[in-house]
Structure 1
């Protein structure tokens, strides 16, 4: 028995010696391996970081370009229904009892306060303001003794204003943004419709009720323009004499259309409008601009035409500071413009 144990023990000792003969990496070998890995991986990591940064920059530029073009298209579609567009004089002059020297500056936001554009906003400047016809599908519910209830479409007048806004509101970017404000008329009643009144602002008018039996009154503050104003001469004086309903403050929100608009100061930059030819006359449109380069317009009142200029700011998507426009970073500031003539027409003697 002892001999058997000795034999097994000797075999185990030999196997242990054989295993111990398998050596691992030395410390120097490990250090050399780490150094080689560092030399190979560091350039690769730098290359990957550069690719990711470039991709992020390109995505920011692409997003700005798409949004700027979409905003221009939206404004163009809006302007196509315009019947009258206000010039710079109207937007920078307060209302007056004398039509020849009257404007609408104190009748619209921010002077006449509205949610999203009021006196507490650092910058909220009207750049494009016009009257348009707004299409309302199925706005009038019609009843018939022989058929089921049906609905009819109609149009109402609306006052639309586009604003350039720059403030400290953290909901939006540190760049500027464009907001849209609109107030619309109610649906005036016709014979055969269910009617109601919108007192006290419109005691002499009747408005229809919709399918829910709700009177479709004008928006708060809305007042129709008066083309029969005897004291005013010509269409411009009549439209510039428009006043909002004094007894009802605006409740409509100035809703943001697009963010990341270039907030670079106009400063000493000279803006100009191309001449406009309508019929046999050539005129220079009225330039309407705020403090910043991102949004300005050229308005030809006589021809109901406006040219809109937008410039985005993709750098504001990537940085929290130092994102003003310069000749070295101009690729991050996509631009777009469109010239639109309103399809509507107003006639005033």
Structure 2
């Protein structure tokens, strides 16, 4: 056999084996499309799972922060010596016919919101719950009490504490720092600053025989101290509180209407307070304070609802969270007179 014949046979054999063992172009395209579909489906599932995980993590973190805030407020309420209920009203809700601020009638109520900093009483800053508690005096005053045989009369060295007014509010103002729809702020009016100096605008609720917590700051020398309202020193306790602004998927008016208190409890803030400061009926943070008999410990029910809108992975109806509830029995008593 000639060399030419051998080369032709070898070439034909090679061509035949190549056509039998390879893939056509159409077959390759079909394989690519099938593999692409499978990979796209897997990637979609992975992205969805990551989104669900991120969304649930944001919701859980928001709910955890709401619970921590509620625990903090409840802890302070247990230490309260007086919690405001229906007396936490604008001035004019009750009258004082005698006109003597040092000897008001038994049913006179000066209205607490009239004696708070202006920044705490507006449509964007809604005072919710207020109470008095005992606050330790600054360390510098304790040292002064220990070193001086005759400390000044205005320093309570014997008790080493004074009364502080605590007010928790809803803040709805726009902020570049806080990303939530609303937040809870805490305001504290103490008798002394950290350096031991007196706080301007502070009036001791126990000053004078006729003064009671529900009449603060009416009493001897109180008018002069309240000539200038105290400065706003409130700080944010927690962010991502629901602001009640609503959306297409929730009826916020109906949600506010569902907020209620048991019998013999008053809801704070009530509608009179909201109307006075021009605020909407937001019930994402409110309290029910009992109206029980005198000389009984005060029972308070707290409600807080968060909104995770603004956190990663949150949109639409998923931003709303269940309302948290807790009941607190404080040390304070109704009708307490120091």
Question: Could you say whether these structures have the same fold, taking a TM-score greater than 0.5 normalized by the shorter chain as the test?
Answer: yes
Q: What count of residue pairs does the alignment treat as equivalent?
A: 275
Say which structure is richer in strand: 1
Deviation at 1:40, TM superposition (A): 1.3
In structure 2, the partner of 1:326 is none
The answer to whether residue 299 in structure 2 is matched with residue 305 in structure 1 is yes
What do residues 50-109 of structure 1 show as CA deviations (whole Å, max 9, x unaligned)? Answer: 10111012101211221111011100111111111111442333697564142122111x
Map 1:119-130; keep pairs closer than 5 Å.
119=122, 122-130=123-131
- Is 1:82–1:343's contact at 8 Å kept on the other side of the alignment? yes
What do residues 234-255 of structure 1 show as CA deviations (whole Å, max 9, x unaligned)? Answer: x465347476833545334211
What do residues 114-162 of structure 1 show as CA deviations (whole Å, max 9, x unaligned)? Answer: 4xx465xx42111100110013574511349xxxxxx999322100000
Judge which range, 216-225 or 152-161, deviates more: 152-161
Q: CA RMSD in A?
A: 3.8
- Is 2:115–2:226's contact at 8 Å kept on the other side of the alignment? no
Map 1:1-349; keep pairs closer than 5 Å.
28=26, 31-93=29-91, 97=99, 99=104, 100-108=108-116, 112-114=117-119, 117=120, 119=122, 122-136=123-137, 138-139=139-140, 140-141=142-143, 142-143=146-147, 154-186=160-192, 216-226=196-206, 228=208, 230=210, 235=212, 238-239=215-216, 241=218, 245-264=225-244, 267-268=253-254, 269-275=257-263, 284-289=264-269, 291-300=281-290, 302=294, 303-318=297-312, 322=316, 332-344=320-332, 347-348=336-337
Q: TM-score, normalised by structure 1?
A: 0.66
Say which structure is richer in helix: 2
- Is 1:183–1:220's contact at 8 Å kept on the other side of the alignment? no
Alignment partners' CA distance in 1, 2:188 and 2:84: 15
Moved over 6 A (4+): 21-26
- Structure 2, gaps ≥5 residues long: 1-13, 149-156, 246-251, 275-280
Q: TM-score, normalised by structure 2?
A: 0.68
- Is 2:125–2:172's contact at 8 Å kept on the other side of the alignment? yes
- Structure 1, gaps ≥5 residues long: 1-17, 145-150, 188-209, 276-283, 324-328
